[in-house]
Every structure is written in C-alpha cells, then in structure tokens.
Amino acid sequence: MSWQWVQRDIVFAVHDKQLAVHGGLDGVQDLNAVESALHRSKNLNACGNPPPDAADLGRPTFMASPPAMDSATATSAPLG
C-alpha cells in the first residue's frame, strides 16, 4: 500500500490555526518530539515485518514509564 504522509509544514499550519481559534502560547514545547512523531510511521512502514496496517501506523507510542503520582492524585479501588 502507498501511504500519504503528513508534511511538517502542514502540521505547524494546523497548530497555528488551532492557536488562533482557541488561544494558547505560540511555539512548540519540544520540536524533537514533533519530528519523532512525524517520522515514526515512516520508519515503521519501512522496517515493519509484517508490513503495518493503518491501525499500526496511527497507534501512539507510549511513554517508557508512566507519570509519577503523588498522594493527592492517587486513587485506590478494590480489586476483584
């Protein structure tokens, strides 16, 4: 299958439009994270075995470790 990739300039144009409509601070917090996200699907497509489907390409990459929780935000529920 031939994929059409979202270009970097389109991503930033959409970001700027969202900021104009909804407000927020200009700029990007982590440009490397944006670049990584844009290249992830291309890399998976090139190196995936078996070849990825649309669900594979759109699946987010999860953080290596979950965010820390303090006692004010922690909840507990009975197990079972």
Question: Could you tell me if residue 52 is inside a domain?
Answer: yes
69 pLDDT more than 70: no
Question: Could you tell me if residue 73 is inside a domain?
Answer: no
1 pLDDT more than 80: no
What span, in angstroms and rounded, lies between the C-alpha atoms of 55 and 48? 13
Query: 31-35, 53-57, 75-79: lowest mean pLDDT where?
Result: 75-79
Question: Could you tell me if residue 34 is inside a domain?
Answer: yes
Prediction pTM value: 0.62
pLDDT of residue 64: 45
20 pLDDT more than 60: yes
Q: 72: which 2 tokens?
A: 């004010």
39 is in which domain, residue-wise?
29-62
Question: Could you tell me if residue 33 is inside a domain?
Answer: yes
Our count of domains for the chain comes to 1
Question: Could you tell me if residue 23 is inside a domain?
Answer: no
Contact between residue 38 and residue 6 where contact means Cβ atoms under 8 Å apart: yes
Mean pLDDT to the nearest integer, 31-48: 89
